[in-house]
Structure 1
């Protein structure tokens, strides 16, 4: 129970930092300077104003200094990060895989929220992730003797499938190629196939729901990056079960 609480708190703290990244990256601002401040009154926030989740609840969603309303998005991202960290720990324990995937979730949360808001994908959020994924693949090869080419092929397969769709249909953005390649490098080629397949299923379901409730029309652009991220989450946590079920179904 202690570790569950510790991992949840760790996720919430990192989620608070991800909020900074999500806000500043599209503005081409540094994520480290200036220190956290109210975007309305520019007052520098004290450490006790930045306690993840609790500060928002205690302040009732308002700035302590100017009482400007704080978006619920900040609380949601802190809570989301904490939950996915905890789910990853439950599945992998304190292992290299746990470290690998929580790093991936950090990149994907930032990428997804920015993609939803601005319909844009920044290389600064994908290229470093791919490089880190390759480094982790090398470490994994040394520790667990997992084939290094498995992850390189995963990036190539995932990115290649999306690239093919982008250049044939033009119905997706080039940034989706980078997101898919990033996820593929982390999950490997077998799970990349599951991940891509799930992303289209999830995208279709959510797209239909948005159209039914008139949140989007058929002609509106819907960011696909979050669907890739969500399918990667399912694949990383439950991909083995999905793969085993599929194999048994064939048999």
Structure 2
């Protein structure tokens, strides 16, 4: 229960600030993990000139505005992605607190959202989902979901088996027909991790929503490029992540709306 002395905007504001700070760290993970670099050492530096970024120029969101989006040393422009990830993570923290309050479950879901953000951006850039993220994430989020009271262990186990098994079956069928890999193992492990956190219901929703979003994105990309190239490769990880995030906040309401619509 929030004390009456605390202004009503304090907790959302602090959640936003906390999320932005975490987003700054997620930027480090997104850049360094796929390159095999340590996420702890050395400290933040300009990727062009290598000059260390002092702490007073490493303030989430604000530093990008103050420095006009460029390195203070070599003046090379920084990607807009840096403040975008910080804002996205800040909004994720704000939404999580608004939905689940200040609770253990809120902490679990925010950590899960941060993991999906990192996975989505890495997969978008490199079309890989590092095992160092997805494999430990399966037992971690299964245990966290059970201990936080979100669902029993049987639901997590069913989610893991359905998540990993469904995409594995699709990959095997595709390979049997086309004699080539159509889906990476990273997507299989990612959906198993999503199943560990959300259960089998979350897997079904995520798979449907992710496939729909990926199809729509593919159509838009093909129209923009004015091509129907059969070799167009679209990473599935970002769309699975968006599907899982949608399920966390609106999944059950959307499912109820859908069944009410058809019945």
- Correspondence for 2:152 among 142, 147, 155: 147
* Residue matched to 2:140: 132
Equivalent residues of 1:8, 1:82 under 8 A apart: yes
Provide the rounded CA distance (Å) in 1 between the counterparts of 2:15 and 2:23. Answer: 12
- Tell me by how many angstroms 1:139 deviates: 1.0
* Residue matched to 1:242: 254
Equivalent residues of 2:194, 2:202 under 8 A apart: no
- Tell me by how many angstroms 1:22 deviates: 0.9
Instruction: Confirm whether residue 225 of structure 1 aligns to residue 237 of structure 2.
Output: yes
- Tell me by how many angstroms 1:243 deviates: 2.3
* Residue matched to 1:158: 163
- Correspondence for 1:173 among 175, 179, 184: 184
Equivalent residues of 2:108, 2:145 under 8 A apart: no
- Tell me by how many angstroms 1:16 deviates: 0.4
Gaps of 5+ in 2: 1-8, 175-180
| Bigger mean CA deviation after superposition, 206-215 or 22-31 | 206-215
* Residue matched to 2:25: 17
Provide the rounded CA distance (Å) in 1 between the counterparts of 2:247 and 2:223. Answer: 27
User: 1:115-147 deviations in whole A, cap 9, x for unaligned?
Assistant: 111111111111222221022033134xx6x32
| Bigger mean CA deviation after superposition, 129-138 or 155-164 | 129-138
Equivalent residues of 1:211, 1:218 under 8 A apart: no
- Tell me by how many angstroms 1:250 deviates: 5.2
Provide the rounded CA distance (Å) in 1 between the counterparts of 2:147 and 2:226. Answer: 44
CA-atom RMSD in angstroms: 1.6
Gaps of 5+ in 1: none
- Tell me by how many angstroms 1:215 deviates: 7.8
Provide the rounded CA distance (Å) in 2 between the counterparts of 1:47 and 1:14. Answer: 15
* Residue matched to 1:115: 123
Query: Residue 121 of structure 1: SS of its match in structure 2?
Result: coil
Which entry has the higher C-alpha Rg, 1 or 2?
2
TM-score (norm 1): 0.93
* Residue matched to 1:35: 43
Aligned CA distance change for structure 1 residues 215 and 120 (closer, same or farther; 3 Å): farther
TM-score (norm 2): 0.89
